[in-house]
Structure 1
Amino acid sequence: MKRRHFSYLFVSLLIVSFAGYLVQTGERGFGQQTQPARTLDVTRLSKTDTERLGWKAQGLDAVFADVATLSTDTLMIVTDGKVVGVFGDLSKPYNVHSIRKSVLSALVGRHWGSVANEIRLETTLQELGLDDATIPLTTMQKKTTVRDLLMSRSGINHPAAASGSLQEEIDRRLGNKENEPGTIWAYNNWDYNALTTVFENETGIGIAEAFETGIARPISMDDFDAGSVSYISNTRLSVHKAAMFKMSARDLARFGQLYLDGGRFDGQQILPGAWIDKISSDFTVTGMEGLRWGHGYLWWIPGPNTGLPEGSFWAWGLGNQALIVIPEWDTVIVHQSDTTEFWNRFLPMIRDDGMTGEAAVEKLILSCREAVTRETEFCIDHRLITRREFDRLLSLIAAARVQPS
């Protein structure tokens, strides 16, 4: 059992260890190579209904033709509560990776707006009695508030579970020094793992139970239960754990629809409307371009040149798992890609061949550009999708939308 647990932890850490690499280096590999197209069983509305909901039928043809060249497992476009276009097994749960952070945000918001108001955003870590090991927090660091954690502005550069090569970017932004809380933004897993501890300590409820009873059941999710949540822990780095989620496309779509509906479902207020409003009105400009232009309350804000309208926000996970909420279009988009087969090849390269995570990822990506391997099942169905490919897909989706005259 210990060996199995170690293997799971090792793989989980590696999954995140080069997430930053894939996010920031999507310009190489598949972005420069035409991939063989798969045959997809796509379900679409009629041309009349598609156009009535504000979409160009030919534009969506281009979207699904493009996604057929990717290793996407599910794509779901829902407008006005109606499925405009979809393919894949919508009932199969996949690891959503860093979408977990937006789910955590919902849990905090739900308890921020509760009658008991268990989560108070201006409470400091000092007041909460929250610390860490092996490196204790300093007096200044303990002035960090719950809001700072939600906004990725703790300024705390502390080792964290499931952080990996994100550390290079964290070091660049935060340095190895004390920072005044609330002054510097950094995509920092320590903040999110500490927020997980804050939530569980203050509410007395585990993440799995809180989501199942507070959100999944009330909005009638089909495929989620408490067993869909697991933890990554590394006490040599930090006492704070990362809570990981598996979700199906149809359950992610329901979760996204909740935000379009002002947090209400079937007459019940599941999330405070004021919490949802904060996402697109109170965020930090990250210094990155495109889809990661802004970040707040653990959601990403697309930039003004992405084709997505102002007020949109989205959740992202490794492998380009995505949940995109577009209020102006009354639309939710879900994109998922199963990373399992990729890890089956990736892990032996690390464990047995002694390669770094970055080198292994690059080798696997570039191998699928070779003529002898491009037509293999792995390269067609299981490879990772690069940032350039995903950005192109989102551009095609934006172009398929009828623009107001």
Structure 2
Amino acid sequence: MTINRRNFLKSTGVSLAGISLFSISPKPLWAEPLASGGLPRSSPERQGIASQNLLAFIEAVEKDKLGLHSLMVVRHGKVAAEGWWAPYAPDLKHTLFSLSKSFTSTGIGLAVAEGKLKITDKVISFFPQELPPIVSTNLAAMRIKDLLTMTSGHDKDTIGPLIQEKAGSWVRTFLALPVEHEPGTHFLYNTGATYMLSAIVQKVTGQNLLDYLTPRLLQPLGIIGADWETDPQGIATGGFGLRIRTEDIAKFGQLYLQKGMYNGKQILPATWVAEATAYQVPNATATTPAHEWNQGYGYQFWRSRHQSYRGDGAMGQYCLVLPEQDAVIAITSETSNMQAILNQVWEHILPAMKPAALSANAASQKALKQKLASLTLLPAQVNSTSPVAKSISGKTFKLADNDLKAQSVSFSFTNNACTFKLQDAQETHQITCGLNTWVFGESRMPGEPPRFVRMEAKEPKPKEKIAAFGTWKNPDTFEMTWVFNETPHSETVTCFFENGTVRLEYKDSVAAKAPERAKPRPTLEGRLA
């Protein structure tokens, strides 16, 4: 039996554009919901959770540098604690990576409920025009259920060949791949299998998966503004690419916790919820050490310890459902150690959940509230100015030939910001960094946006939300941090100034968190024009 976890991550690229300056306001612990349809708020103690345990969890994940971006703890249907590490914020979406798979599974469940398909249906029956010349016995035997349980029979994750198919049919590519094992007998974490679930939904409904889910799942849960990456033919990628807000993740978990009920309406059949979250197949050998990824697998949901289950995504995106505690925990992050975050949940949050409400603890509640309102990823402040700033401010550096096709850069300094501009053959791109503070905006610059599916050059590059920070590491070295804060990723750009020259070195956070995924980054060198 083989396990192949999420090794399909592609490191993010550089992305810049003009932005406007505005500040971030800390959000109180027990704030009003973002909009109508939001989950109700409460205090931890009213929901039987000790505030000091929640504070201990936050301090532990910060001490271990586990890279959390947001946390929401829901108990008995009420948000007991919530916090975002600035520049992440409640109103921003966040890339879910493989947590998207649980939403794709839900689409299949809804299609089953509407009588559009059965999980025993054969995969090839939906795509007669996409089949290879010879259909193997294993391919012919593959069912929707085998896709759901990651037992399609493949020996390797199929997503690589699919992503490399830039213009053709991903479905045809998938069906042409060898199926080495009898479907239903061999667990392999296979993102391409989830894509096929999305393709099947689109085939039987005539709608893209996101469009299909919107009136049936997203709108009833009050989830607005979701977006999902698609393949070149407009089919949602299924296994990754969905972006929603942290509270939306929590709502999704609450739907499953309530056996498909939400706001008094049965959104999803309870029988589907039970099947999807149950132990359907083993996903580890008997000798595998105990951890969160060998507890069994359902329909695009992982079984977890303590009789819980979850959807999760690469680098730390979680929708953790704890039925025995009547609780949901939503987390977004960028971490290289997903197990470590869950370990801290089990150590601090799980034992804090008591059967009944607790007496109010004003001191602990105040300490937690203050902590959650001041969470930040702000880099260490060094210096907000340098003698070099005045000598280079507003001047242009002509660049040597480079992979970004950039022609020149400039830096314009004020008392509280630096505006960085990059000129290429098409336009001037700019980004404004706060000096020792975050500045929000949107970005579009030469390089790839932080997404998996490479877009064709004829398509306009989408803007990405970004927060930027700058500081002088020493009199000759200016460092900019750009956080693409609807993704987990960030970029550090270190600018070295010497005798009328500049050298810009880029380092992305994916490489820092997961060195095996490191990708060569551009170095720009220039001289004052």
| Structure 1 and Structure 2 fold alike (TM over 0.5) | yes
Q: Deviations over 1:340-377 (max 9, x none)?
A: xxxxxxxxxxxxxxxxxxxxxxxxxxxxxxxxxxxxxx
1:143 is aligned, of 141, 144, 147, to 141
Aligned amino acid, residue 64 of structure 1? I
Report the CA distance shift for 1:208/1:126 in structure 2 as closer, same or farther (over 3 A): closer
Aligned residues of 2:49 and 2:354 also touching (Cα < 8 A): no
Map of 1:126 onto structure 2? 124
Please give the residue correspondences for 1:149-168 in structure 2 after superposition, counting only pairs within 5 Å.
Answer: 149-157=147-155, 160-161=158-159
Q: TM-score, normalised by structure 1?
A: 0.66
1:231 aligns with 2:230: yes
Of residues 164, 181, 184, the one that matches 2:183 is: 181
Q: CA deviation at 1:187?
A: 0.8
1:29-178 aligned within 5 A: 43=29, 49-69=43-63, 70-88=66-84, 89-114=89-114, 117-129=115-127, 137-157=135-155, 160-161=158-159, 178=180
1:325 deviation in Å?
Answer: 1.1
Deviations 1:40-86 (A, max 9, x none): 977269xx953442323322121121233432111000111211111
Q: Does structure 2 retain, via aligned residues, the 8 Å contact 1:279–1:299? A: yes
Partner of 2:255: 258
Q: Which residue is 1:352 aligned to?
A: none
Q: Report which of the two has the higher share of strand.
A: 2
TM-score, normalization: structure 2?
Answer: 0.51
CA contact (8 A) 1:123 1:145 kept: yes
State the partner residue of 1:333.
329
Q: Which runs of 5+ in 2 are unaligned?
A: 11-25, 32-41, 163-177, 357-529
Partner of residue 276, structure 2: 279
Letter in 2 for 1:201: K
Q: Which of structures 1 and 2 has the bigger CA Rg?
A: 2
Whole-angstrom CA distance in 1 between matches of 2:28 and 2:318 = 19
Check conservation: 2:54, 2:349, Cα contact below 8 A.
Answer: no
For residues 302 and 71 of structure 2, the distance between their equivalents in structure 1, rounded to whole angstroms, comes to: 19
Residue 188 of structure 1 deviates from its aligned partner by 1.0
Which range moves more in the overlay, 134-143 or 284-293? 134-143
Rounded to whole Å, the distance in 2 between the matches of 1:280 and 1:301 is: 7
Decide whether the 8 Å contact of 1:158 with 1:190 is kept in 2: no
Instruction: Tell me the amino acid that sits aligned with residue 229 of structure 1.
Output: W
Cα pair 2:292 2:339 within 8 Å, conserved? no
Number of equivalenced pairs: 302
Supply the distance in 2 between the matched residues of 1:44 and 1:240 (Cα, whole angstroms).
35
Q: Distance in 1 between matches of 2:134 and 2:283?
A: 28
Query: In the aligned structure 2, how far is the partner of 1:261 from the partner of 1:84?
Result: 17
Deviation string, structure 1 residues 227-247 (Cα, Å, up to 9, x no partner):
x1112469xxxx995462001
SS in 2 for 1:191: helix
Secondary structure of 1:85's partner? strand
Deviations 1:160-218 (A, max 9, x none): 33589xxxxxxxxxxx7631111111111221111111111112111120122221112
- Which residue identity lines up with residue 315 of structure 1 in the other structure? G
Separation in structure 1 between the aligned mates of residue 347 and residue 232 of structure 2, nearest angstrom: 39
The residue that corresponds to 1:172 in the other structure is none
Q: CA 1:396–1:282 in structure 2 vs 1: closer, same or farther (change >3 Å)?
A: closer
Structure with bigger RCO (C-alpha 8 Å, 6+ apart): 1
The answer for unaligned runs of 5 or more in structure 1 is 1-14, 21-39, 165-175, 304-308, 340-383
Which residue identity does 1:328 align to in structure 2?
Answer: E
Query: Alignment RMSD, CA only?
Result: 3.4
Separation in structure 1 between the aligned mates of residue 336 and residue 30 of structure 2, nearest angstrom = 24
Rounded Cα–Cα distance in structure 2 between residues aligned with 1:106 and 1:52: 32
Question: Which structure carries more helix by proportion?
Answer: 1
